Amino acid sequence: MKFFKIKSYAKLNLSLNVIKKVPKKLHIIESLITFINFYDLIYIRETKALKHKIKFFGKFSKNITKNNTVNKLLNLLDEQGVLKGRKFQIKIIKNIPQKSGLGGGSMNASSIAKFFLRKKIINLSKKKLSNIMKSVGSDAELGMNFNNTIMSKTGKLTIKQKKLGLYTLVVKPNFGCSTRTIYSKTKEQTRPKYNNPKSSFFSIKNIINSNNHLEKAAFILNPKLKKLKLFLSSLPNSICVRMTGSGSCMVVYYLSKKKALKGLRLFKKKYKNYWCIISKTI
């Protein structure tokens, strides 16, 4: 049986507001989310083996444990009997770095769940599927639709079809950030802003005026990250610079590819050993 190929896109948090601190858990947040044309590649096919077979390849495949999001998803689907005993061979080429805030692992799981739905391998209600994805990971449900998304403080996701058309310079220092640690050190809180989702939240003006409340804690824990943002903010022609998720990736947003490529050239002169890509919102 042939392999099916799936693109698992990276997500970006255009904004991330902490609404309330929750002891020993991830805080209550709201966020504006978009996706870029940069992805992990997933190859999947049914197998006659007695167990699922999952293998990771590529530059960022090292140190992925058995407790990964794809295993979690398959185990949950098996436990609920929705795969009806069917087993799958899955190969994932990891282009998205780990501990970057780009949601690579979560998007892998959601991309596979969408494949199962599209091929009618599983049949689940929206509520049941939502509960499964939340059990897989805090970001996993976001990847069920690769469109601009407004996440309110209740966790409700509102999809907006508006195309941003932004180019991005995405850079990652040679260290990652622990999501749990960053949240535990975050003290900032604000009143909810996205209770009434509007397309205007994705306007350039609103994006520029938005924030990521996790940056302050990330900068205290990793001073190099603060220096990185200061340098990126000095690059010409960018509209804003923001950390995505809990880091460690920083994203510079541009209105044209030409301007983004100039930023890339200047960045590479200063930071020769940091990972970086140019991409565009999808």
* Catalytic sites, residue numbers: 11, 139
Report d(CA 10, CA 230) in Å as an integer: 24
Cα 222 from Cα 219, distance rounded (Å): 5
- CA 259, 262, 263, 264 dihedral sign is positive
Token representation of residue 180: 């749990």
- In sequence order, the 6+-apart residues with CB closer than 8 A to the CB of 37 are 9, 279, 280, 281, 282
Structure-block tokens of residue 90:
């899955």
Alpha carbons 79 and 90: distance in angstroms, whole number: 19
Query: Contact at 8 Å (CB) between 276 and 267?
Result: yes
CA angle, corner 102, sides to 182 and 268, nearest 5?
100
Q: Are the C-beta atoms of residues 6 and 112 closer than 8 Å to each other? A: yes
- 103: Cβ contacts below 8 Å, ≥ 6 apart: 10, 11, 96, 139, 142, 143, 245
Report the residue count for the chain.
282
